[in-house]
Structure 1
């Protein structure tokens, strides 16, 4: 493995786990304080939102671990076990995320997050299907797409820091944009990466 690849993987793993850990604040602080900017939109889906961020955070941790080459190549039984936990976390996070999307103000934001949830569950399901069929290249391809969508959580947090904190833009103005920008670039990169690896 090239040194640059090692650095890239290390950065992904660290940022993924840190982003997942950042959601822990919802438990001591409560939803209104931890997610004050959007809590008013979740009046009818508060428990669903907590389930979503919990499942998505677990998926982020499991997904981050799965991209470590040593674990994936040398400890296949561990890889499979974590993979099952990852798929379950994605399923719960995706279903709850889809339902929560319809609590977001505005059709643009709703459409963005709803499609993210659909593609997230779909790519993961495809990855699991090909793993069970023993088709490793197809499995890796679809799980690359899945993990890229999982890392939408990281992209969302980084962009929130830039727009809402750094540029002091109101939350309600940037969220319709973030509903798409947090996962579309990730997907494009994953498509490029898979194509490059295949060639």
Structure 2
């Protein structure tokens, strides 16, 4: 009876994880199609004030999309166990994408970003720092053979990676726009919110699971 309940619980947890993953895929896919892909048309209208920094923005977007796509495969246990070498190479690509993406983001922060205001530039820089730090800690952990720590830091890393999707959703939300109509005010507040709150919730969830 106890074993039957355990199997039932595991099945429910699997269904919940599947629903969450599908939701994230649809949510991220909508962001990529609507907000990221138009930049690859290389029109001045699409880039707007980023036209003079288009290659840095393209590098940032390309690497961000790459990290978004690779992330779920790294958490897929069956895929990881069956294709361990592929998993490791995808991890290296994931880390490299974040390194390049964070570098591009840092450059954008102190060129086009600072033209908006210092708060916006600082918010972008903080997100870039959190992005590379969480990914770097995941890499250091696995190199030291600390697999559980590696998994936890990968979760944190992907939460920060997903912050770019969350930012766009919040920034375009009519509710948020109603609270802060000017981007000079809304942008800095949203860029901090999009990763600090999800990361805080993630820390609670990771701590809750530990005995």
TM-score by length of 1: 0.85
Native 8 Å contact 2:177 2:186 kept in 1: no
Residues 128-143 of structure 1: pairs in structure 2 closer than 5 A? 128-143=139-154
Alpha-carbon displacement from aligned partner over 1:119-178 (angstroms, at most 9, x marks no partner) = 111111111111122210110111111111000011012112314997593444421222
* Residue 29 of structure 1: how far off its partner (Å): 5.2
| Distance in structure 1 (CA, Å) of the matches to 2:29 and 2:146 | 29
Q: Does 1:194 align with 2:206?
A: yes
Aligned partner (choices 89, 104, 107) of residue 96 of structure 1: 104
Structure 1: runs of 5+ lacking an equivalent:
none
Alpha-carbon displacement from aligned partner over 1:99-119 (angstroms, at most 9, x marks no partner) = 211231112111111011011
Q: Which has the larger radius of gyration?
A: 2
Q: Match for residue 160 of structure 1?
A: 171
Aligned residues: 194
Aligned partner (choices 112, 116, 119) of residue 108 of structure 1: 119
Q: Match for residue 24 of structure 1?
A: 37
Bigger helix fraction = 2
Name the stretch that deviates more: 134-143 or 166-175. 166-175
Report the CA distance shift for 1:123/1:171 in structure 2 as closer, same or farther (over 3 A).
same
TM-score by length of 2: 0.81
- Which structure carries more relative contact order (alpha carbon 8 Å, separation 6+)? 1
| Distance in structure 2 (CA, Å) of the matches to 1:34 and 1:164 | 25
Native 8 Å contact 1:20 1:57 kept in 2: yes
Alpha-carbon displacement from aligned partner over 1:3-36 (angstroms, at most 9, x marks no partner) = 2222112222332344334412111252x3234x
Native 8 Å contact 2:170 2:176 kept in 1: no
Q: Match for residue 144 of structure 1?
A: 155
